[in-house]
Amino acid sequence: MESPTPNAKARPATPARIYDYILGGIHNFPADQEAARRILELYPDARVMARANRAFLRRAIRFLTDAGIRQFLDVGSGIPSQGNVHEIAQPAAPGSRVVYVDIDPVAVAEGLELLAGNPNATSIHGDLRRPGEILNNATLRKLLDLDQPVALLIAAVLHFIPDDDRPYALVAELVAALPAGSYLLLSQSATEAVQPESSNAQTIIDLYKRQAATASKARTRAEFERFFTGLDLVDPGVVWVAEWRPDSAEAEQFVEQPERSLLWAGVARKPSTTTA
């Protein structure tokens, strides 16, 4: 990425770049760094939470490639740097195709740069609140065959979509465009999450909101589960992100208190008779 240019100081913080900084990435500007440091000061667990979410993604992508999925649509992908979907899916299942979508133009530009030379992965600009535009995007249509199963990934994004924006209808519209045998992967901030020194996940995302002017909403387990209506949740169902098929030391820090991973997670398969 362009390292801080004369303009960089003027760039407002965005969730994609705040998250990149929290993950230890280099694709961020001073305002993002300041916002992220403020979040980390108040909630040191935010970094572990972001890593636990990425670890969930890695485990779930392996599950999905094992299940035969070869197409991935990652909405709200952030900056597809280290450990992202194509880096897991393509070695596991060569020829897998990945389309990253993000509302942040810098995340998209970074994605295109990182993916240069990879004919089976690309990054497009899109807004989850406009699913039709995502689905009709010409670049997406060139890479993904929507008549074949697709894994739709919406990880750590739905808390940026308040109820007024009809998040359930948005997710349902995307799922409806995919054939039976497709999968939906979600994670989202939990109302029930416990932070050691204070309140809950809503406080962190409120902080994101103030720092990045992004609306936000933690959800209860029941509210989160509702996103999977009409789909078949795969084991273990809806759980804390660190509890979804843990397979390594990555999740160990949450063994005693999985609710500290702050996010609900789930993966579900679209059955042939769904109306979702």
Ligand X SMILES: C[S@@+](CC[C@H](N)C(=O)[O-])C[C@H]1O[C@@H](n2cnc3c(N)ncnc32)[C@H](O)[C@@H]1O
Residue 272 Cβ vs ligand X, minimum distance, rounded to whole Å: 28
CB atoms within 10 A of CB 145: 13
- Give me the least distance between CB of 85 and ligand X, in Å please: 9
Residue of 69, 18, 62, 25 lying closest to 40 (CA atoms): 18
Instruction: Give yes or no for residue 104 binding ligand X (CB under 6 A).
Output: yes
Residue 45 contacts ligand X per CB under 6 A: no
Cβ proximity to ligand X: between 17 and 270 the closer is: 17
- Cβ closest to ligand X, residue 106 vs residue 178: 106
The only residue of 1, 13, 15, 228 in contact with ligand X, by rule CB under 6 A: 15
- Confirm if 18 and 35 have CB atoms less than 8 A apart: yes
Residue choice 27, 51, 54, 217 for contact with ligand X (CB under 6 A): 54
Contact status: 127 vs ligand X (CB under 6 A)? yes
> Of 11, 38, 129, 245, which lies in the binding site for ligand X, with binding defined by CB under 6 A?
129
Asked if 128 is part of the footprint of ligand X (rule: CB under 6 A), the reply reads yes
DSSP class of 236: T
H or E, element range at 151: strand 151-155
Min CB(206)–ligand X separation in Å: 15
61 binds ligand X (CB under 6 A): no
Among positions 149-168, residues that touch ligand X (CB under 6 A) are 155-157, 160
Per CB under 6 A, does 78 bind ligand X?
Answer: yes
Residue 168 neighbours by CB under 8 Å, 6+ apart: 226, 227, 229
Up-side HSE of residue 98: CA atoms within 13 Å toward CB?
26
Torsion of CA 118, 51, 254, 183, to 10 degrees: -40
- Residues in the interface with ligand X (CB under 6 A) total 22
Residue count (the chain): 276
Q: Which of 246, 276, 272 is nearest to 261 (CA)?
A: 246
- Residue 103 CB, shortest distance to ligand X, in Å, is 4
16 binds ligand X (CB under 6 A): yes
Least distance to ligand X, CB of residue 67, Å: 20
Q: Which stretch binds ligand X (CB under 6 A): 35-43, 53-61, 63-71, 227-235?
A: 53-61
- Give CA–CA dist 135/128, Å, rounded: 10
Determine what percent of the chain falls in helix, strand and coil, rounding each to the nearest 5.
45, 15, 40
Distances (CA, A) of 131 to 57, 101, 125, 198, 230: 22, 11, 12, 36, 19
Q: Which pair of structure tokens corresponds to residue 109?
A: 């530009």
Given 77, 188, 202, 211, the residue binding ligand X (CB under 6 A): 77
Residue 149 or 167 with smaller CB distance to ligand X: 167
Q: Which is nearer to ligand X, 75 or 88 (CB)?
A: 75
Report the candidate in 161, 171, 162 with the shortest Cα–Cα distance to residue 131. 171
Binding to ligand X by residue 76, rule CB under 6 A?
yes
Positions touching ligand X (CB under 6 A) are 14-16, 19, 53-54, 57, 75-78, 102-104, 107, 127-129, 155-157, 160
